[in-house]
Amino acid sequence: NYRLFGDFSEDLHMFGKEGYIFPADDGYVQNYQRTNISEPLMENLVTYAARTNAYAKERDCLFILMICPNKSSVYGDYMPESIYVDETKESTLDLAKRRLTEEGVTCVIPHEKFRSQKEEEQIYNVKYDCAHWNDLGALCGLTMLDQVIAENYGDIPVMQRSDFALTW
């Protein structure tokens, strides 16, 4: 809407630095600020994942939980300067990764890989989708998931970038 019609809903979106657009809803901003992390909700997620993992193991199956990072978790340096982040608190993704790992749940949370990958290529759109990874981000994240699967099932090959015809 913004590109085609110049319509920018400030209720739903906000401009960050260098033209980046992010969601503007309270929950999204509070998650970025690390002010809305619910320990009980996280423990419910971890308990659910641990029980699912145990159920899968009883049936000789692999359970992998993938949590996809939002745009501000990767491109937080482009969020508006006016938004304060409480660096004394763990991010939701770091807390999830720590707790799931403690419970022995195999998880793929590609936020750290994405942060390094963004130095090489744009893995979230600057403007056209304010919250979701683009095709390169999906390729990077799903390759990480494939690597975990391949480690457990040697006969399944890991998806490679060369398997795709990337065009711009």
Neighbour-count burial for 123-147, b at 16+ CB within 10 Å, e otherwise: bbbbeeebeebeebbebbbebbebe
One pLDDT digit (tens) per residue for the chain, 168 residues = 666 666 666 668 898 999 899 998 899 999 999 998 888 999 999 999 999 999 999 999 999 999 999 999 999 999 999 999 999 999 999 999 999 999 999 999 999 999 999 999 999 989 877 888 888 899 999 999 999 999 998 888 888 888 888 776
What pTM did the predictor assign? 0.84
Q: Enumerate the β-bridge partners of residue 22.
A: 14
Alpha carbon distances (Å) from 108 to 78, 119, 144: 24, 20, 7
Rg (CA), the chain: 18
- Closest by alpha carbon to 116, among 159, 69, 50, 82? 69
* SS3 of residue 126 by DSSP: coil
What amino acid occupies position 161?
R
